[in-house]
Amino acid sequence: MFLFIFIAVPLVVAGFLPIASRVSKKFLPDFLANLCLVILVAASITTFKLWPGAGSFSHKIFWFGDSLNISVVLDGLSLLMIFIISSISLAVGLFSIDYMDKYGSRAIYYAMFLVLVAATNGIVLTSDLFTMYIFIEAAGLASYGLVSLGKTRDSTEGAFKYLILSAVASSFILLGIALIFLTTGTTNIKEIASVSRLVPKLSVILFLAGFGLKSGLVPFHFWMPDAYTGAPAVLPALSSGVFVKVAGVYAMSRVFFNVIGFSYNISSLLVYLGIISILVGALLALGQTRLKRLLAYSSISQVGYIFLGIGTGTPLGIIGGLLHLFYHSIFKSLLFLNAGAVEYATQTDESTELGGLGAKMPFTSTTNVIGLLSAAGVPPLNGFWSKLIIVIALIQIKMYFYAFIAIFASVLTLWYLLLIQRRVFFGKLKEQCENAGEIPFWMNLSLVGLALACFWTGVVFAPVILKWILPGANVLVEGIRSSINTFIIGGS
Amino acid sequence: MEPLILLAVMIFSGLAIFLKDLLKAVICLMISSIFLGIIFFKLGAPYAGVFEISVVAGLVMVLFILTISLVGGEDFVKEPAIPVIFFLILLGIFSLLAVFGFKVSFIPSSATGDKFLNFGQVLWAGRTFDMVAQISVIFAGVFVILAIVSRKGKNGK
pLDDT for A49-62, tens place per residue? 888 776 667 666 66
Interchain contact, A141 vs B66, CB within 8 Å? yes
Give A116's contacts in chain B (Cβ within 8 Å): 140
pLDDT of residue B77: 57
pLDDT of residue A310: 94
Comparing A219-223, A289-293, B30-34, B116-120, the range with the smallest average pLDDT is: B116-120
Q: Is A103 on the interface with B (CB under 8 A)?
A: no
For residue B119, is pLDDT > 70? no
Substitution target from B52, B139, B142, B154 for chain A, most A beta carbons within 10 A? B139
pLDDT of residue A119: 94
Residue A382 one-letter amino acid: N
Q: What is the DSSP string of A190-252?
A: HHHHHTGGGS-HHHHHHHHHHHHHHHT-TTS-THHHHHHHHS-THHHHHIIIIIIIIIIIIHH
Give B62's contacts in chain A (Cβ within 8 Å): 141
More confident call, A180 vs A63: A180
For residue B58, is pLDDT > 80? no
Substitution target from B54, B143, B150 for chain A, most A beta carbons within 10 A? B143
Q: Which of A242, A213, A174, A200 is nearest to A37 (CA)?
A: A242
Give A11's contacts in chain B (Cβ within 8 Å): 132, 135-136, 139
Q: Which of A110, A106, A115 is nearest to B150 (CA)?
A: A106
pLDDT of residue B124: 61
For residue B112, is pLDDT > 60? no
Contact A206, A180 (CB under 8 A): no
| Span B83-101, pLDDT tens digits | 777 777 887 887 777 677 6
Q: How many Å lie between the alpha carbon of A173 and the closest alpha carbon of chain B?
A: 12
Interchain contact, A134 vs B128, CB within 8 Å? no
Select the highest-mean-pLDDT range: A123-132, A195-204, A424-433, A478-487.
Answer: A123-132
pLDDT of residue B60: 78
Q: φ, ψ for residue A428 (rounded to 5)? A: -80, 140
The distance of Cα A42 from the centroid of its chain, to the nearest Å, equals 20
Out of B51, B71, B141, closest to residue A141 by CB? B141
Residues 6+ apart with CB under 8 A from A302: A281, A324, A328, A332, A375
Q: How many Å lie between the alpha carbon of A361 and the closest alpha carbon of chain B?
A: 31
Q: Is A413 on the interface with B (CB under 8 A)?
A: no
Mean pLDDT of A93-111: 87
Q: How many Å lie between the alpha carbon of B116 and the closest alpha carbon of chain A?
A: 16
Mean pLDDT of A470-475: 91
pLDDT of residue A63: 64
For residue B157, is pLDDT > 50? no
Please give the Cα distance from A56 to A170 (Å, whole number): 28
Interchain contact, B140 vs A119, CB within 8 Å? yes
5-64 in chain A: CB under 8 A from chain B: 7-8, 11, 14-15, 18
The model's confidence at residue A388, banded by pLDDT at 50, 70 and 90, is very high
For residue B61, is pLDDT > 90? no
For residue B109, is pLDDT > 70? no
Interchain contact, B139 vs A14, CB within 8 Å? yes
pLDDT of residue B50: 78
Please give the Cα distance from B35 to B2 (Å, whole number): 10
Select the highest-mean-pLDDT range: A10-14, A187-191, A239-243.
Answer: A10-14
Helices A315-346 and A441-459: crossing angle in degrees, nearest 10, is 160
Give B126's contacts in chain A (Cβ within 8 Å): 69
Give A141's contacts in chain B (Cβ within 8 Å): 62-63, 66, 137, 140-141, 144
Out of A15, A135, A159, closest to residue B70 by CB? A159
Give the residue on B whose Cα is nearest the Cα of A158.
B70
Interchain contact, B140 vs A145, CB within 8 Å? yes
Mean pLDDT of A36-45: 94
Residues 6+ apart with CB under 8 A from B157: none
Q: How many Å lie between the alpha carbon of B144 and the closest alpha carbon of chain A?
A: 5
pLDDT of residue A307: 94
For residue B113, is pLDDT > 60? no
| Span A402-452, pLDDT tens digits | 999 999 999 999 999 998 888 888 878 887 777 888 889 999 999 999 999
For residue A204, is pLDDT > 80? yes
Q: Domain limits at B57? A: 2-155
For residue A335, is pLDDT > 80? yes
Please give the Cα distance from B101 to B97 (Å, whole number): 6
| Chain B positions touching chain A (beta carbons under 8 Å) | 47, 51, 54-55, 59, 62-63, 66-67, 70-71, 108, 110-113, 124-130, 132-137, 139-141, 143-144, 146-148, 150-151, 154-155
Interchain contact, B59 vs A163, CB within 8 Å? no
Q: How many Å lie between the alpha carbon of B121 and the closest alpha carbon of chain A?
A: 11
Select the highest-mean-pLDDT range: A7-16, A236-245, B72-81.
Answer: A7-16
Q: How many Å lie between the alpha carbon of B133 and the closest alpha carbon of chain A?
A: 5
Give B155's contacts in chain A (Cβ within 8 Å): 151
pLDDT of residue B5: 86
What is the count of structural domains for chain B? 1
Q: What angle do CA A109, A363, A458 make, to 5 degrees?
A: 90
Give the residue on B whose Cα is nearest the Cα of A133.
B133
Q: What is the DSSP letter of B122?
A: I
Q: How many Å lie between the alpha carbon of B4 and the closest alpha carbon of chain A?
A: 28
CATH number at residue B63: 1.20.120
Q: How many Å lie between the alpha carbon of B11 and the closest alpha carbon of chain A?
A: 26
| Span A105-157, pLDDT tens digits | 888 899 999 999 999 999 999 888 888 998 998 898 888 888 877 767 777 77
pLDDT of residue A492: 41
Contact A168, B63 (CB under 8 A): no
Contact B136, B144 (CB under 8 A): no
| Span A209-223, pLDDT tens digits | 999 988 888 888 888
Contact A118, B132 (CB under 8 A): no
Identify any residues that bridge with A290 across adjacent strands, giving them in sequence order.
A350
| Span A308-331, pLDDT tens digits | 999 999 999 999 999 999 999 999
More confident call, A370 vs A354: A370
Mean pLDDT of A165-176: 87
For residue B115, is pLDDT > 60? no
Give A138's contacts in chain B (Cβ within 8 Å): 133, 136-137, 139-140
Q: How many Å lie between the alpha carbon of A137 and the closest alpha carbon of chain B?
A: 7
Out of A128, A149, A174, closest to residue B55 by CB? A174
The model's confidence at residue A189, banded by pLDDT at 50, 70 and 90, is confident
